[in-house]
Amino acid sequence: MQRTLLLTRICGALLLASTMQVWAHGDVTPQAIDITGLEPIKDSDTTWVDTNPYSGNEKAIEIGKHAFAQNCARCHGIDAISGGIAPDLRERLPLGQEGDDIFKERMINGAIRNGVTYMPKFDGIVKQEGLWAIRAWLETVSVDAPVKTAVPATTTPAAAAPVASVAPAVARAGEEVFNTVCTACHTAGILNAPKIGDKAAWEPRAAKGLSGLLASSVNGLNQMPAKGGNPSLTEQELSNAIIYMLGKADIELDKAASTADATTPTAVDTAKPATN
Ligand code: HEC
Ligand code: HEC
């Protein structure tokens, strides 16, 4: 599994390296960040501050959310929910100074080893103010972020809307899991993943039933990382995503699979004992 993940990373990195010089190929071009409304950082083009000046700043969080989507999400996942290509920043970036240090170091240096660019540097390409705004937003989605208390129904929903992805206690629906994790490969058929909606590609696989497909998803299969690269997904959430994906190909999985297996997906790795 490690090897597959590494391969995935290397493929991404090579792709990036080959287009980096020109900064012209769609997604790879870093996007300008509109920092209007943020208190400017003194000498921000030449000197880095050590501590995020915008921690908890509502305006910065809003700017950072968009800036992340434009510059980081293609590798670190939509809403920072990793799809397996780059580290999950909700888990890998602690709150406070320790996280600021890691963040600053990466923004200045990127991640380049043996001449291979795993992540480009952003210093000098995106303004420091915009980068710290991204950090301010990342703090709000950190696994260590204080859980937002429910907003009373009388306040406007607009105020509560943006920070939706704080550790959900209930299983996420198939569509949501798909759109945050599985889409990275299953929409365009990356690494030859069967595409969502492609009935011909899914039909032979559907013969494994939900429990068989769930087992592949939990453990990974060839180029597909375990749990699509997101270890926080539960088996329930993976099942939801599988049912959603195959539903789009007009395959009704819950009927194809034995319901007894579907409700107790415990024998994922081990061969089932003969019943007779
Ligand atoms: C081309 C893909 C790519 C893009 C774009 C990208 N990253 Fe990364 N990032 C990576 C990879 C891969 C790593 C792991 C590097 C390594 O293994 O050394 C990483 C590592 C990091 C780390 C260190 C995490 C740790 O565990 O120490 C941080 C912080 C980070 N990225 C933030 C960002 C931010 C913020 C952006 C957007 C401004 C961004 N990255 C854009 C691929 C990317
Ligand atoms: C990094 C790319 C990637 C991501 C992300 C990914 N998949 Fe896959 N997936 C693949 C590839 C590639 C295959 C084909 C594997 C093979 O048959 O060799 C596959 C196959 C599958 C299969 C068929 C397994 C079988 O036994 O035939 C299922 C089910 C599946 N993926 C579910 C998911 C779900 C659910 C998610 C999101 C939680 C997800 N995948 C995320 C790449 C990915």
Average pLDDT over residues 238-251: 90
Q: Give the pLDDT confidence score for residue 64 in this predicted structure.
A: 97
Q: Is the pLDDT of residue 30 over 50?
A: yes
**Could you tell me what percent of the chain has a pLDDT over 70?**
72
Among 72, 81, 126, the mutation site with the greatest number of ligand 1 atoms within 8 A of its Cβ is: 72
Q: Which of 74 and 60 is assigned the larger pLDDT?
A: 60
120 CA → ligand 2 middle, Å: 27
Ligand closest to 86 (CA) is: 1
User: Which residues, at least 6 apart from 57, have a Cβ–Cβ distance to it below 8 Å?
Assistant: 38, 136
Neighbours of 94 (CB within 10 A): 16
What is the pLDDT confidence band of residue 83, given thresholds at 50, 70 and 90? low
Pairwise CA distance, residues 220 & 225, whole Å: 5
Q: Which of 255 and 109 is assigned the larger pLDDT?
A: 109
- Which of 108, 120, 38 shows the shortest CA–CA distance to 76? 120
Q: Which of 172 and 46 is assigned the larger pLDDT?
A: 46
Average pLDDT over residues 128-136: 97
118 CA → ligand 1 middle, Å: 8
Count Cβ atoms within 10 A of the Cβ of residue 86 and give its class: 0-12 exposed, 13-18 middle, 19 or more buried: buried
Q: Are 190 and 199 in contact (CB under 8 A)?
A: no
217 CA → ligand 2 middle, Å: 6
Q: Is the pLDDT of residue 89 over 90?
A: yes
Atom of ligand 1 at shortest distance to CA of 68?
37
- Which of 56, 60, 74, 77 shows the shortest CA–CA distance to 140? 56
193 CA → ligand 2 middle, Å: 6
Average pLDDT over residues 43-66: 96
Phi/psi region, residue 189 (left: phi>0; alpha: psi -120 to 50; beta: rest), is left
- Which of 34, 55, 258 shows the shortest CA–CA distance to 145? 55
Average pLDDT over residues 206-222: 90
- From the centroid of its chain, how far is CA 82? 3
Pairwise CA distance, residues 143 & 89, whole Å: 9
Q: Give the pLDDT confidence score for residue 28 in this predicted structure.
A: 54
Query: Residue holding tokens 């800036």?
Result: 67
Q: Which residues line ligand 2 (CB under 6 A)?
A: 8, 83-84, 177, 181-182, 184-186, 190-194, 205, 208, 213, 216-217, 221-225, 228-229, 233, 238, 241-242
Q: Give the pLDDT confidence score for residue 134 in this predicted structure.
A: 97
- The residue count of the chain comes to 276
87 CA → ligand 1 middle, Å: 7
Query: Residue holding tokens 């780059």?
Result: 86
Ligand closest to 90 (CA) is: 1
Among 7, 27, 75, 82, the mutation site with the greatest number of ligand 1 atoms within 8 A of its Cβ is: 75
Angle, CA of 76, 77 and 81, to the nearest 5°:
100
Ligand closest to 190 (CA) is: 2
Q: What is the pLDDT of residues 97-128, one digit of tens each?
A: 999 999 999 999 999 888 888 888 999 889 99
Average pLDDT over residues 196-222: 91
Q: Give the pLDDT confidence score for residue 229 in this predicted structure.
A: 86
Ligand closest to 94 (CA) is: 1
Q: Is the pLDDT of residue 136 over 60?
A: yes
Considering the chain, what is the average pLDDT of its residues?
Answer: 78
Whether 248 is in the pocket of ligand 1, judged by its Cβ within 6 Å, is no
- Which of 57, 165, 33, 6 shows the shortest CA–CA distance to 107? 33
Q: Are 229 and 84 in contact (CB under 8 A)?
A: yes
Query: Residue holding tokens 């290509």?
Result: 85
